[in-house]
Amino acid sequence: MEQIHKDIIGCYLYTITRHGYPPDASDSLQHMKEMKELGFRSIEMEGIRDLHLDGVYGMRHQIREKATSLGLTIPYFCVVLPGLSSPDRNERERNLKQFEKGCQLAASLGCVAVMDNSPLPPWKFPSGIPVARHYDEKVLAGATFPMRLKWKNYWNGIVETFRQACDIAAARNLKFNIHPCYGTLANTTDGFLLLAEAVKRDNLRFNMDTANQFFMKDNLFLSLLRLQDHVDYIHLSDSTTGKLEHLAIGKGQIRWERFLEMLNRISYRGVFGIDVGGAESAVPDLDGAYRSSAAWLTENWFRHLDEK
């Protein structure tokens, strides 16, 4: 199997698509082997809420040893903690402790950054925050807001929480990447810039996601121009209009030639993640979709970059 360029990262969505959300943390070593067998040299890993995060944390030494034996690097570790944006201060503080555990894990694996979804608004769900990658209209339809919620107080609270999270990450020489997804507060360029201006931490970064932003009609080319000082990791997948999907590159409607032109224009030198799959996407050959997307990126970006 031909190895994929080291700056093309195999995203954790591959594991989620094959094994569920969240997958069984005890199978993490097998999940890593599967990514290696696809040809990836660099992969993401995740800790999804308390139970899954604790499970992965407990295996951190085994994961580090497995990565070494497989010749894998793990540049990004996703710490998925929606409670960081809870309107309950005690819940935010509890999640900060879990976030610190995630940063400790990430540092032990040699990561350059931790990542989490954009802050979830202060929805009040009938049975608590649903375990979901995206909070679509159907999920949000049954949610309300706390009766005594004062937006200014809430906003100040999560700004302070995310400052603390940035500082916790920085103490371990990690960046903190915000991932845009539907139903959250920083799911677009405007949303992230608003959050970044309030938090005021240099290590707060934006994990651009082409499919998510295309779905939300956040112009990808303008986004690159506006966020060039905030982006060094891009999740790549294609999408069609009117539906959230994560398709192989070339299977949707994103104009990739213009996207690459804009990357050249801003002199982008960051890394990419292949982020295909999920229950929302029709991808009959998942392995083929990852390999073809990585091959396209190698041919159309890295080969020309290496020639410069």
Taking the model in full, what pTM does it have?
0.95
pLDDT tens, per residue, the chain with 308 residues: 679 999 999 999 999 999 999 999 999 999 999 999 999 999 999 999 999 999 999 999 999 999 999 999 999 999 999 999 999 999 999 999 999 999 999 999 999 999 999 998 998 887 777 656 666 777 777 788 888 999 999 999 999 999 999 999 999 999 999 999 988 999 999 999 999 999 999 999 999 999 999 999 999 999 999 999 999 999 999 999 888 999 999 999 999 999 999 999 999 999 999 999 998 999 999 999 999 999 999 999 998 776 65
- Which residues have CB under 8 Å from 53's CB, separation 6+? 47, 79, 80, 81, 98, 101, 102
Cα separation, 178 vs 231, in Å, equals 10
Cα separation, 81 vs 78, in Å, equals 9
pLDDT one-digit tens code per residue, 191-208: 999 999 999 999 999 999
pLDDT one-digit tens code per residue, 262-299: 999 999 999 999 999 998 999 999 999 999 999 999 99
Yes or no: say if 206 and 197 are a contact pair by the CB < 8 Å rule: no
- Percent helix, strand and coil across the chain, each rounded to 5? 50, 15, 35
Closest CA to 24 of 60, 54, 61: 54
CA distances from 227 to 194, 219, 266 (A): 12, 12, 10
Tokens 């990690």 sit at which residue? Answer: 174
Tokens 């809420």 sit at which residue? Answer: 49
